[in-house]
Amino acid sequence: MLPDITRHKPALRRYALVLTRDPGQVEDLVQESLTRALAGSRTWRPGSDLRAWLLSITHNTFISGWRREQVARTGLEQGAEMVPEPMAAALPDLRVEARQVVERLLALPDGMREILLLAVVEEMSYREIADMLNIPLGTVMSRLARARQALRQQAGDGPATPAERRASFKLVE
């Protein structure tokens, strides 16, 4: 029997937004993923990380069907609209900054964007990401380092210092 999977919907939504790059497709991907999770509930092992299992299903669902479609680069403003209204009212420039961050994130190649979200937002360890995406640990580390460097360059901050490069490779187990 599966535990309550609905508590992981925010994480699934964030990951779906990164995968689809279209806020209009987020709910469809999350619902399809949850449907597949319920249908395949016998494959979940009690005691294992339910969130990682659900994120993996979301990833596989996207790869199976949604990647075949051309993803329109619409919805950037809708992504920035996801900033809660009280925060936006308190900080007028927050919407502009949020839109810029979303644009920079969406400009990253797929592999870098996915790994950056999983590591930074979902706080998954490099090993968890590697296992979930079925890729080597070194690939996770290099894609994350390249994603961080690309974001720094897009922001005009230039190349990372040696200390920043070392910190970006800090293993989170």
Best-predicted range by mean pLDDT among 107-111, 124-128, 166-170? 124-128
Q: Of 98 and 5, which is predicted with more confidence?
A: 5
The mean pLDDT of 117-121, rounded to a whole number, is: 85
Tell whether the model's pLDDT for residue 74 goes beyond 80. Answer: no
> Between 169 and 33, whose confidence is greater?
33
Confidence of residue 3 (pLDDT cuts 50, 70, 90): confident
> pTM, whole model, 2 decimals?
0.52
- Mean pLDDT calculated for residue range 83-106: 64
Q: What pLDDT is attached to residue 118?
A: 87
Residues near 150 by Cβ (< 8 Å), separated by ≥ 6? 107, 108, 112
**What mean pLDDT, rounded, does the chain reach?**
77
**Element (DSSP H or E) covering residue 20:** helix 9-20
CB 117 within 8 A of CB 147: no
More confident residue, 70 or 65: 65
Quick one: average pLDDT of 2-6? 82
Helix-strand-coil split of the chain, %, nearest 5: 70, 0, 30
Which pLDDT score, from 0 to 100, does residue 121 have?
Answer: 81
DSSP state of 43: G
